[in-house]
Each structure stands twice: as structure tokens, then as C-alpha cells.
Amino acid sequence: MGSSLTWAGTLQRGFAIPHSDPDIAALQRAATKVRLQRNVTIFNEGDNADHLYKVTSGVVRLCKYMSDGRRQVCGFRMPGEFFGLTDVQLHECSAEAVTNVVLASYRQEQFQAMSETMPVLRRQMRSVLSSQVLEMQEQIVLLGQQTAMERIASFLLALARRTGSEHDDVVDIPMSRQDIADFLGLTIETVCRAFTDLKRNHTIEALTAHQFRLRNLAALNALTAI
């Protein structure tokens, strides 16, 4: 049902540098580099799942829409992470560029075919799938049981962990407040208020609206209540 992708993105074949492992090298040759502007749709829920992607730089959000327009952000994909990998014919989520992004694009069937002969790739696909499952289970607990403040604390800690920015406790928040709200099952105002409370506590310090310093990790961890 969803229209196919209509990017004005730059395409480029065989950009990857050669790799010593012949299998990995073959995989890299199979990739196409794609550059996209922020807020562009990469694919829609229901589109043919002919490609899958790996984020090279930037951030991608995966969302599902209800018929009345409500949006659930199912997850974000950061550099190094795959999305669009599926066993069914159609994409089950829409994918949209949160920031300007660079993606590595792979033909789904080629990926599947290569995985038949390449145990390395099969293991990688399995690990991608299983980490997806783990992430979704955490989100289910978050959405089903945690309060607004607990969700916000979990979100900030997960973001810090994923971007590896825990060494200096400064975490970049590339997505909008609306993205965060739709990810956490809250409203934009509730997200704002939670951030404000954390600032007042000196648990976090806002360098900008999109860059926080986590001043009290222990307090944040306690707030998650997990």
C-alpha cells in the first residue's frame, strides 16, 4: 500500500574498503551507500522489504502509525546498527531519518542468499535479531509498568550506554521531544516536565536542549526502578 521510497538521495556502489575476510568483503561489495536528509522517509510500513540497511552515520527512527494518526516510535537505530531485516515480504515499520544520515543498503534476497552459505553472516543476522528482541522486551516493560519519570531515566541511561558517551557523562539527544514522547508512550509536555525536574534535582544539566550532562548516574539508575 505504502508508496515506494522517493529519495533524492545520493547513491554510490562499491564504496566499501576491501576486507581481509572474503565473506565480509563480499558483503561490503554488496552494499550501496545512501545519503538522506533529515525527516525523509526511508520506507513505509507495508512497503516491499526488498532492502535492508545499516546506519553509517546519523540516526533513524522506526515507527508504526495508527489510523487516527497516533504514532508509536518502536526504536531508534544508531551508527553500526541494522534495520529493515525481516523474514516477511513487507516492512512492519516505517523508517524515517531523524538527522541527516548515511546508510549502507543491501538487497534483502542477496543478504538471505549469502546467509545460506556464510555461517558468519548467519550468526550476525541471528545476533541482530536477538538484540532486537531484547530491546523490544525492555520497551514492553517500560511501556507497561514504568512511570513517566522512570521511562525518562531509562531512556537517558540507554542513550548514554548506546552512544558510548558515558566516559564524560555528556549525552547527545539527536531526536525531538516529540520523537522521545512517541517512543516512551508519553506526551511532549510530560517529557519536558520530567527533564525540568531532573535539572532542578541537578541529576542532569542541559548544555543545550539536545545535549545533557548526566551529573548523577546513581540517582538516574535509582529512578529507573528496574
Q: Pull the grid cell for residue 69.
A: 494518526
- The values of phi and psi at residue 75, to 5°, are 175, 170
Q: How many residues bind a second copy (CB under 8 A)?
A: 36
> Look-up: residue for cell 489510523?
67
Contact present, 100 and 29 (Cβ < 8 Å):
no
Cβ nearer to a second copy, comparing 68 with 168: 68
Residues 132-161 that bind a second copy (CB under 8 A): 132-134, 136-137, 139-141, 143-145
- Does 87 help bind a second copy (rule: CB under 8 A)? yes
Binding footprint of DNA on the chain (CB under 7 A): 147-149, 176-178, 185-193, 195-196, 206, 208-210
Contact status: 222 vs a second copy (CB under 8 A): no
For residue 16, give the nearest of 7, 25, 6, 3 by alpha carbon: 25
67 binds, among DNA, a second copy, none (CB under 5 to 8 A by kind): a second copy
- Find the binder of a second copy among 89, 127, 196, 201 (CB under 8 A): 127
CB of 167 to DNA, least distance (A): 24
CB of 196 to DNA, least distance (A): 3
Residue 70 is a binding residue for a second copy (CB under 8 A): yes
Examine residue 120 and tell whether it contacts a second copy (CB under 8 A): no
The beta-carbon contacts of 188-192 under 8 Å, at least 24 apart in sequence, are: 190/148, 191/148, 191/152
Q: Residue 92 or residue 189: which is nearer to a second copy going by CB?
A: 92
Indicate which single residue of 36, 55, 74, 121 sits in contact with a second copy (rule: CB under 8 A).
74
Residues that bind a second copy (CB under 8 A): 64, 66-68, 70-72, 74, 86-88, 92-93, 116, 119, 126-127, 129-130, 132-134, 136-137, 139-141, 143-145, 182-185, 225-226
